[in-house]
Homo-oligomer: A and B are copies of this chain.
Amino acid sequence: MVTPPFVADIDWSQTDTILADLNGKAANPIAFNQVNSSENTQIQTAPTFLHSHTLPQPHTHSHPYDIHKSHSHSFLEYNYNLVNPTSGRIATIDGTAGTIAAPEHIQYAMSNKDENKLIHLDPVPDFKDKNDIKPWLQKIFYPQGIELVIERSDSTKVVFKCKASKRGKNAKEPMLPASHKEKIENNSSGSDTKSAAKKKRSVSRFNVCPFRIRATYSLKRKRWGVVVMNNMHSHDLEFNPNSEEYKKFKDKLKDDGDMEAVKKFDELEYRVRAHLPIHNTMIPCDCGMTSEIQSFNIVMPTTLAAGSAKRDKSSGTSPGQQPLITTNSNIHKPPPKKRNDSLLQRTAKKNLMTMQYTNSPSEIVGQSLSMDSPMAPSEMGSAGILEGETPANQIPNLSDFMDDQFHIYERPNGNGIDFSGASGEAVPGGSGLPMMITTSGGGGGAGGVMDLNEIDFTNIFTKSFNGNNVLVPTSHANSISHQDPLSSSGAMHPDVDPSASMTPDSAMLFRQQAPNLDHQTYSGTMGEDCEDGTVALSRPGSNHPTAATTLTSHLDYMTAHTDSHAAESPSTQRSYTHGAAMESTSASMLDFKQELEAFARATSGNSATTPAETTNQLQDSEDQINSWLSSLNKPRSPNL
């Protein structure tokens, strides 16, 4: 039973708040770095995960640990902070919100210097099994539209990356690996063609995303550390509830009894299937990992979708050659040395390149020193900022793991590709980095019901977590059910039913009302307990997943840093939602759906429907991105 696209029967009363906030981007009280590459530019913002834990356990690494339940509020409660380690340099953002009209390729990335910073996640559960890491990360990154796979692993390391997009659906554009295309001519004289096809294992252009998460086991600390590397993406972020991997993940959640996480993901699924913005539910938590977190210079990337506009697009329906790279939020913008802002200046609607936290000069290196001792709050101001060469011995007490992890390798000249020079220029032929918006779901995405272009979502640093930064999927436009999920779920195809695959006890989650959009940004120290240029916004009464919700989208520059804490206090928080979970879903689903629909309709005016993947000429920029990626992954710390 195929359901029509998501269009009608919207109760606008539910969505007023959302819409107001959506259009209230300019209302940001604080300067916000925002760059819009073009009309099609949209933002995929990874939210800041904020919440307060109870049972503070400062400076201890020995809290009880239960990967699946320790933070029983499931993925809601990872209160990581958004800190751009170095400069705020980021680029335009090109998202997919509203339609499939995502850009096809990334021509050039902006200067990759800043994006090539390490972002440490913390707190990290004291994983006892390497295999526990991935589920934990999945709980964090699935809501961000990032499906992680393991690139490499061994007993002391796990490297995650974005799952390669499946070429099956669109299957139009040939794989890049074969290097057929560009070598057509040198049949008889293979000598002078300088098309140097550097060989890697066959990789489609859907598998070039530089984003990496590295988990490393520190023998000294006897703990796993998690670092986000290359916090950007060559693709749009999309949460795909139909993914097999996701299903497995969710099944595992169920098997592990992490019902709260299951419910949250149920909610996420529903919203995503309905093309609704994700509500950020926040759970305040004061578990008190703050000190420890500070010592780890915790940051939670907010994977922004930043793209350099190659050319202006008159409408969202143009087969975008638009470059796109999804990067993270920024903070601390060091004086742009050799930095090419042309892209940003040209394409951004609002080019708020205000340098925030310039009090942390580029010379601030090795800031994450006081690892084993609580970092003074003033130190956090520059935490995460690692520019240039870090003296190897600046951090005497730092464990080896952190030593290495924080040491940023200033790539030797040429040992990488700097896209800054070309970021603003259109490339003839429109070759670009492979990029694909896999609308993995069932039906083809016919309708751009929602177009979030021109809508500059401002990231709100609430304490919400759930569903942050999950782009409104555009691929299921024609497969969205208009039926009541409750009454039709049994007959609907899982792929087209927004409520499909939801657990029965997730209904209560949808009772949460319209999101409260907080357009708070900051350029300086603010927030509750952050003095380091990060923000920790607490929302009253948001102690549980059903509390405050936030729509976080279209954020160009978002910087946030909260007192990071998460920590393991399973005994107090575990599975407290179980009791009330098994209730009727009908009313809440309806309400929620109406809200969703209202939002969808409100944003559908700008159109940009089914933008269709196009272009095949992405070889060059692909190569560059690849080279760049290769260099990014090269040894970072030559001296350490």
Measuring CB to CB, which residues of chain A are less than 8 angstroms from any residue of chain B?
107-108, 176-180, 182-203, 205, 208, 338, 340, 413-422, 425, 427, 619-624, 626-628, 630-631, 634
Contact = CB atoms under 8 A, between A and B. Distances in A.
17 contacts: A177-B630, A179-B631, A180-B627, A185-B414, A188-B418, A190-B621, A190-B624, A193-B624, A195-B623, A197-B623, A198-B622, A199-B205, A199-B623, A199-B626, A200-B202, A200-B203, A202-B630
The 8 closest A-B CB pairs, nearest first, are: A201-B201, A184-B414, A191-B422, A189-B421, A200-B200, A188-B421, A197-B623, A199-B626
Nearest to A201: B201
Given A178-B631, A190-B624, A194-B620, 13 more contacts: A178-B630, A180-B627, A182-B198, A183-B417, A187-B414, A187-B416, A190-B417, A190-B621, A192-B422, A197-B626, A199-B623, A200-B202, A201-B203
Contacts of A203: 199-201
Nearest to A338: B188
Nearest to A418: B187
Contacts of A200: 177, 199-203
A179 B627 contact: yes
B193 A195 contact: no
Query: Most chain-B Cβ atoms within 10 A of its Cβ — which of A196, A417, A622?
Result: A196
Given A190-B421, A420-B188, A198 B414 contact: no
A189 B623 contact: no
Nearest to A189: B421
Contacts of A619: 196, 198
A628 B178 CA distance: 9
Contacts of A425: 191
How many copies of the polypeptide does the oligomer hold?
A: 2
B417 A187 contact: yes
A528 B112 CA distance: 69
Contacts of A622: 196, 198-199
Given A197-B198, A201-B202, A340 B188 contact: yes
A92 B149 CA distance: 45
Contacts of A192: 422
B634 A190 contact: no
A178 B417 contact: no
A344 to B, nearest CB: 16
Nearest to A111: B188
Contacts of A205: 199
Contact of A180 (B194, B197, B634): B634
A199 B196 contact: no
A249 B208 CA distance: 37
A174 to B, nearest CB: 10
A570 B305 CA distance: 65
Given A191-B108, A191-B427, A417 B199 contact: no
Nearest to A113: B187
A361 B116 CA distance: 59
A418 B186 contact: yes
A413 B183 CA distance: 10
A183 B421 contact: no
Contact of A623 (B196, B338, B427, B634): B196
Contact of A194 (B178, B188, B195, B631): B195
Nearest to A633: B178
Nearest to A193: B624
Nearest to A187: B418
Contact of A179 (B107, B185, B413, B626): B626
A187 B413 contact: yes
A23 B322 CA distance: 67
